[in-house]
Amino acid sequence: MINLELSEKHQELLNNTRMLAEHMMRPYSRKYDREEHAYPTEMEEVAKLIRGGREGVGKQDKNEQPEGAVVNGANMGAVIGLEGLCWGDVGLFLGMPGSGLGNAAINAVGTPEQREKYAKSYAAMCITEPGTGSDSANISTTAVADGDEWILNGEKIYVTDGERSDTLVVWATLDKSLGKAAIKSFIVEKGTPGCEVTRLEHKMGIRASDTAAITFSDCRIPRENILGTPEVATTAEARKKAFGGVMQTFDNTRPPVASMAIGVARAALDLAQELLAKEDVSLDYDKTPRNLSAIEAELYTMEAEWSAARLLVHKAAWMADNKQPNSKEASMCKAKAGRMGNAVTLRCVELCQSLGYSENELLEKFARDSKILDIFEGTQQIQQLIVARQVLGKSSSELK
């Protein structure tokens, strides 16, 4: 059964990442927010410290784990670490070397050989296209087999870390007429002829992270660089299962993105309460609800919303660690945390008035950064649709 309290190991991880965030990320927050697309060289040292501290966290000795034991492993460690780092700065975390979302895809569905080969890579995810956003089944980028190679053609946009990454995980179709059954993921190494970063996007938030458009023009990659099997399913049930395998990536990446929203919302709450305390507004849990001021009542409500979202994230991660299907829970935590993060950070700006809106404090930046966390890895509306399908037992064709 899931424990609602953090283990000693994970509490230490949260404390350590918060310390890194406070002393090695926050001091550079405003600098790289203003210098959009500038490479945050200071984050290289942070990345080294994280890689060093990651060893042993979330790993279990199988000989020490009795059969049926509850596991708090790599997924739980990931969401807790991200909460601490994104309490510091979401954009700097996303711009940090080696933090690409494509790594989660390779770890989720890659072969042992692929996982070993790209273990130290910086992998970005290439899904969105000019005509395809939330409808992942509408991918138009093509992959054609040619001897011992695949040939990729198409365009991807809004690729997080698309310029700085050294590896890309590209969604492409083997046959557009077969719909989602023919969609596969492919590993493309940057520098491969025919793969080109064509532009960088200017954004409202996470400005320290590059967001790129990438084209593939007769881009040839080795045949073994496909994630999963190259066979296209022939029956309806097999096609559903095949696309489900591709979509499994999101079950692994949505809880971490939700935890990023937990981190930035916590940052906004902490800073807002610090600023409001100077005006003699502070939380006193000994007060009864009827004795609270309007601002105090709002702070309590936001704290409750934050805690609810955090518990949903931990449950989804815990289920993944314990080999339980978590697709519904992954979407639930992403929907809840994304919406909560937007609402809490913006309300903290409003409660702190001119201090919240000005660049003298980081509250306005927290609000801008939080917006993307409700959009990428599946929008709020898509998450609710996924949850509704699972609760009602409906297929994607039955409930759109």
The one catalytic residue among 155, 305, 377, 398: 377
Reading the block at residue 363, the tokens are: 């509250």
Reading the block at residue 302, the tokens are: 């936001």
Radius of gyration of the chain from Cα atoms? Answer: 22
323 backbone φψ class: left, alpha, beta (φ>0; ψ -120 to 50): left
HSE of 93, CA atoms in CB hemisphere, 13 A: 29
Taking a C-beta distance cutoff of 8 angstroms, is the pair 210, 97 a contact? no
Range 223-258 burial, b when 16+ CB lie within 10 A, else e? eebbbeeeebbeeeeebbebbebbbbbbbbbbbbbb
237 is catalytic: no
β-pairing, 123-126 vs 167-173, is parallel
Cα–Cα distance, 269 to 308 (Å, whole number) = 15
Cα–Cα distance, 90 to 70 (Å, whole number) = 31
Number of H helices and number of E strands within the chain? 13, 8
Length of the chain (residues) = 400
Cα–Cα distance, 70 to 244 (Å, whole number) = 26
Instruction: Name residue 145's beta-bridge partners.
Output: 150
- The CA distances from residue 92 to 17, 85, 154, 369, in Å, are 13, 9, 29, 10
Taking a C-beta distance cutoff of 8 angstroms, is the pair 275, 361 a contact? yes
Cα–Cα distance, 136 to 157 (Å, whole number) = 13
Compute the C-alpha angle 316/301/365, nearest 5°: 75
Cα–Cα distance, 91 to 99 (Å, whole number) = 11
Reading the block at residue 103, the tokens are: 């790594």
Q: Could you give the residue numbers annotated as active site?
A: 377
